[in-house]
Amino acid sequence: MSIPLLGLGTFRLKDQVVIDSVSQALALGYRAIDTAQIYGNEAEVGHAMAASGIPRDQLFLTSKIWTENLGADKLIPSLKDSLSKLRTDYLDLTLIHWPSPQGAVPVAEFMGALEEARAQGLTRQMGVSNFTIDLLRQAIAVVGKEAIATNQIELHPYLQNRTLVEFMHSQGIAVTSYMTLGYGKVLQDPVILEIAGQHNATPAQVTLAWAMQLGYAVIPSSTRRENLAGNLKARELKLNDEDMARIAALDSGLRLTNPESLAPAWD
């Protein structure tokens, strides 16, 4: 079991915009799609996947359980609802989207329910998102580190999250970087632009290649065919040690996703 190194994000994309993005991406060769219950686009993602004609076993589909559905009585029914919207009978990866606000639902309860969902065949792999070291330790205590495929976290050149990543490496938990492009912010950075110029690549390719070279899975989103195609080609770009060191030095701890109602005390 493993996680594809490059997939397509769908946050903020709705209706025809998400159908077009997913359809174009699949036509270009993307095979992994990341959605979530809260994105309100699972039905459209399911529509685009079905319309592509690509066999289900060639696709890698991730969705995330919203915080309102973390209770043991709600998690599996909500996942079944997601599956029906997505027009499939299993997910490749199901993530806990955010830890339960104020710990209202204990980690043991939702990780236990997620494990049960996997046992029922509703998901092939399971994982978490926006989990701190402390929360990961709690999740590991319930299901074991081998059962946690990934922790999907905000990670880009301006927020490299090294303490958390080090802990995840020590546990063998894969890193998925979300907002790898810093929602576009990183693409104006002079260092990234210079490295891009040296490799005849785009700033987005440099940023994605940097993350993938560190072994992180990435899920950039785009509404433009040109950007979707360019981002996919980031897999072919090889950065040198100096490039990697220059990007490592860009970390400034800039966190773009920090919703007051959801965010735990970050590491």
Closest residue to ligand NAP in the complex (CB): 9
Residue (121 or 150) nearer to ligand NAP, CB: 150
Alpha helices, DSSP H, located in the chain: 15-28, 42-52, 75-86, 107-119, 133-143, 162-171, 190-199, 203-213, 225-232, 241-248
C-beta of residue 218 within 8 angstroms of C-beta of residue 209: no
In degrees and rounded to multiples of 5, residue 197 shows phi and psi of -60, -40
Please say which residue, 113 or 218, places its beta carbon nearer to ligand NAP.
218
Name which of 120 and 223 has its Cβ closer to ligand NAP. 223
227 alpha carbon, distance to own chain's centre: 18
**Shortest approach of ligand NAP to residue 13 CB, angstroms?**
7
Residue type, 31: R
Question: 226 vs 241, which CB is nearer to ligand NAP?
Answer: 226
DSSP sequence for 103-159: G-S-HHHHHHHHHHHHHTTSEEEEEEES--HHHHHHHHHHH-GGGEEEEEEE-BTTB
Q: Give min distance, CB of 147 to ligand NAP, in A.
A: 19
Q: Catalytic: which of 30, 39, 178, 216?
A: 39
> What is the rounded CA–CA span in Å between residue 119 and residue 249?
43
CB of 228 to ligand NAP, least distance (A): 7
- Per CB under 6 A, residues contacting ligand NAP are 9-11, 34, 97, 129-130, 152, 178-184, 187, 202, 204, 219-224, 227, 230-231, 257
Cβ at position 213, least distance to ligand NAP in Å: 17
39 is catalytic: yes
Which CB atom, from 117 or from 158, has the smaller least distance to ligand NAP? Answer: 158
Sheet holding 123-129, edge to edge: 8-9, 32-34, 60-65, 91-96, 123-129, 148-154, 174-178, 217-218
Q: How far is the CB of 204 from ligand NAP (least distance, A)?
A: 3
Query: What residues are labeled active site?
Result: 39
